[in-house]
Chains A and B, each alone.
Chain A
């Protein structure tokens, strides 16, 4: 019993750590204030489900298509918002997530609207299917490890240094003849790709998706993870995912009614976010201050 519960939590930690590290790649390493990251997660989830369930594409292909299509949305977003900065960029990306949310809610012929899509199959590879949660955990851990390793290499490469330079001094870098728009769009496309595959992992684990999994409160959740962990710190994001996913679970041992559990969890996220923003803007392992 307790093992099944721990496995469930660890699967969530695995999925959310990919989501958090990919957000941090855009937000921390490149300085792109993307509040639409949850929309990428949702696009990945829906794409993967629609391709496997409605079109009969094998899981692994749908998984990659989910990442690639989300990446295309990443380019659309970065292209559309290329002239905005500061809080207007943040708001436009937030607006983007609202648009995607209403698309999921209203494009009923494809997404089944508010009813959501139930009965999503677990992944199969060449006839071998994942049978239980322990196997799914192993699968998630492999994918997360590969994804995070790729992002780690990207961040520490010369390309990653250029991304950090666009964050710190966009104009200076352009004066050196670098195309910062290209750098930013690559960064956001990579970030969106990993958010998309995290969405696919999430959908095939939960086996049911509806638009409410991709709403404003979830934006706060992943922002809390990244900000608590620290801007531009991959290690921070991973440690923080553990903390943020596991801390509210302590509420379960307090015997409070389940109707209170959801709001109480949101309150904990919001309080942690406010405390960190007010008193420790570097987060746990942040390299640079949140400005």
Chain B
């Protein structure tokens, strides 16, 4: 009973982390820098849905659609305005990392000023009665979250491996110089990685908005979790980071069996620190450019 519930909770939260981590790892593997402001794309999307659906009264599905366009746009703008000039100057990854944290704080506090620090809820589907699956109580929205996430991630897998654009993206991730010789335009690939990554974050934002609550600071919390999931799997690989996110979901929920529940967040922090120290390339990654020889 408790076991089934814990497994269900792990899969639900793991799915959210996986959506965040997949976009983050997509940007990292293509561009080789940490886009921490990715977290705020999730919060931004949740609030855009809130703005259009709850405040302006636009149809729910049209609101979702516009939200995703705006998320992709914000991701693309952050690349062009902040990261691209730094890349052109050949700044180190650390500078890009600092810039991304600056961007995260900037956007998060902008949301805070426009929408206030209090919790917002979007109650579109109402409160549905939980369904009993093998002893675990799961709401229909939670089932939808799992299914949507799995469909998206499988879709992303096929896109990355079967389509020409996806293969170009992986080629850039593997060797940027070599691919530029073969005539692949790095800039458009980078644009695309930010747009796809941010739309994935946008979908996560919408799912969280209808299942849980919105707070302006949620982006920071989510990117730390998504990032931890990515590090556990491998920050260089989208499938690895997805598996890592589910591992994190399980570790958090089952850790509470042994530890007081306040330690839930600490579990992620400690896993992150341990992995960065001892296995920075993750469970499924290759050791390349991470450690001193």
Contact surface of A with B, Cβ cutoff 8 Å:
33, 80-88, 90-92, 95-96, 98-99, 101-103, 105-106, 108, 113, 216-217, 219-220, 223-224, 227, 259-260, 262-264, 266-267, 269-271, 273-274, 277-278, 281, 290-291
Contact = CB atoms under 8 A, between A and B. Distances in A.
Interface in B255-277: 260, 262-263, 265-266, 269-270, 272-273, 276-277
The 9 lowest CB-CB distance pairs between A and B, nearest first, are: A102-B266, A270-B106, A263-B109, A87-B93, A92-B276, A98-B269, A95-B273, A263-B112, A273-B102
A103 B266 contact: yes
Contact of A98 (B89, B103, B272): B272
A88 B269 contact: no
Contacts of B97: 87, 90-91
A133 to B, nearest CB: 29
Chain B interface mostly helix, strand, loop or mixed? Answer: helix
Contacts of A259: 116-117
A109 to B, nearest CB: 11
A92 B277 contact: yes
A72 to B, nearest CB: 17
Contacts of B272: 95, 98
11 contacts: A84-B280, A84-B290, A84-B292, A102-B266, A105-B265, A264-B109, A267-B109, A270-B109, A277-B98, A278-B86, A281-B95
Contacts of B113: 260, 263-264, 267
Nearest to A264: B113
A281 B260 CA distance: 45
Given A87-B33, A87-B94, A290-B95, A99 B273 contact: yes
Q: Which residue among B98, B220, B263, B292 has the maximum number of chain A CB atoms within 10 Å of its CB?
A: B98
Contacts of B260: 106
A81 B277 contact: yes
B265 A102 contact: yes
B34 A267 contact: no
A260 B105 CA distance: 14
Nearest to B96: A87
B224 A220 contact: no
Contact of A227 (B82, B98, B265): B98
A17 B147 CA distance: 52
A132 to B, nearest CB: 34
B91 A270 contact: no
Given A87-B33, A277-B95, A281-B91, 11 more contacts: A84-B280, A87-B97, A91-B276, A92-B273, A102-B270, A105-B266, A113-B262, A216-B101, A217-B105, A266-B109, A270-B105
Nearest to A80: B277
Interface string B61-104: 00000000000000000000010011001011111111101110
A283 to B, nearest CB: 12
A83 B292 CA distance: 5
